[in-house]
Structures are given as C-alpha cells and as structure tokens.
Amino acid sequence: MNGVQSPVVQQLREDILSLQGFTPPAPGSRVGLGPVEAAFPNGCFPRAAVHEFLSDTPEESAATSGFLAGLLGCLLPERGMCLWIGRNRQVFPPGLTAFGLTPDRILFIDLAREADLLWAIEEALKCEAISAVVGEVRELGMTESRRLQLAVERSRVTGLLHRRNPRARHALACASRWRISPLASLPEDGLPGVGFPRWQVDLLKVRNGLPGSWQLEWAEGHFQPLATAPRGRWLQTG
C-alpha cells in the first residue's frame, strides 16, 4: 500500500513546489550562490518567486544593494534585462560592471511618490520580456505581497524586494527573507584597492527550506565562501 502511495505523494510535493517557484534544477541551472543554495528546496535558488531583503542601517542598505547586484549578475541570462525601481537611487550604474553587469542591461525607474512604487513593481513583474525586478519599497503587507507572487507565477520573472528600515516585519507571501550585512574586505597581495566585497548573509526564512547563515565574498565573477570562514551555520528557528 505504501509502495503505491509513495510516488503519488512525491509527485504531489513536486507539483506544489513547482507552483511556488521551486522547480527541480536543470543541469547548470544553479545560480552560483555556493553553499547558500543548499538551503532551498531541490538545492536551487527559485527564480520565478519574490524574495525579501531587509536592511536597517545605511551600511546594511549599501551591502544589500551590492549583494543584489551580484545576484543579478548570476541570475540574468546573456541578454537578460532587469528593472530597478525605487525612489532615492543609491546605486552607481558604472559600478555594476564589477558584478558582471553592464548598465545597458538594467533600466532604473526613479519615482517621486511611495504610493507609486508598488504599482510599478507589480506591473514590472508581469512583464515576460524581462528576467528580474529589483523593487525598493519600505512597507509591504500580506495582500500586496500575494499580488506580487501571483504576478511572478504567471510571468516567471524573479522579484527582489529591498525593504529599508520597514516599520512592520510580519510574514509575507515571499519565498525567502534575507538580511545582508557588510564584512571588512582584505587587500589582495599584488592588487590595488580594498579587496573583494564581502557579506554576512543571513537567510532568515525560506519556504520549504532551511534558514542559515554564511559569509560570502564576490571574487572571479561569482559568490564563494570565505576561505577563512567556518562552513554555513544553520540557524535555529522556532
């Protein structure tokens, strides 16, 4: 009896995960987040989903923007386009080349009113011609987040929401919740500058996955764990 039910249950689980944006990875489909990707169902960062990033200080905000740029560098296909929507842009477009992005692949939309942000983000997430949307929005409710998730389930676009110092932090219909903090970089022998960007990456919540904490740096065009850092420490939830 159990032998008959097991494949049915497994297929049902796969169907549910697929509807939530977690599909079995095709060969080479992993985005390059290193050990972080093991925290997600099927060991693959979900593309057709909405992800939430929280920051409380200017330092965390800058670190999050850099991390998002690196994530876009991994997510976008060769000719993929991204919309970056916000009010007070803090990103310097020419600096994105350090993360494998050329400014012509990202369209920045700067809006004057907070009330227009969610509408613009939702409409952008409905557009199948783009690969990803970064939305800088402070406040977001469950109803709004559900609308965004429904949009990406139809369009298969990846949504990345950066929430700076939000007043409310209740549960949302997002696939994951992150906090990115800056880490001091180390100069490389024989190379000018301050070294490769480094982050403390805390995956606070992940649907059907396992939250955790890692230290990553951006080097040689991809994320990699710090050589001197311990392996990913799984966070205790409850």
Per-residue pLDDT tens over the stretch 203-232: 999 999 999 999 999 988 889 998 744 445
Evaluate whether 23 touches 158 at the Cβ level (below 8 Å).
no
Domains of the chain, residue spans: 47-234
CATH class in words for 47-234 = alpha beta
Residue 188 tokens, joined: 């490389």
Per-residue pLDDT tens over the stretch 39-67: 998 888 999 999 999 999 999 999 999 99
Rounded to an integer, what is the distance from CA 94 to the centroid of its chain?
Answer: 21
* pLDDT over 70, % of the chain: 80
Evaluate whether 213 touches 205 at the Cβ level (below 8 Å).
no
Count each helix (H run) and each strand (E run) in the chain, helices first. Answer: 4, 10
Can you tell me whether residue 82 is helix, strand or coil? strand
pLDDT of residue 226: 87
pLDDT of residue 230: 45
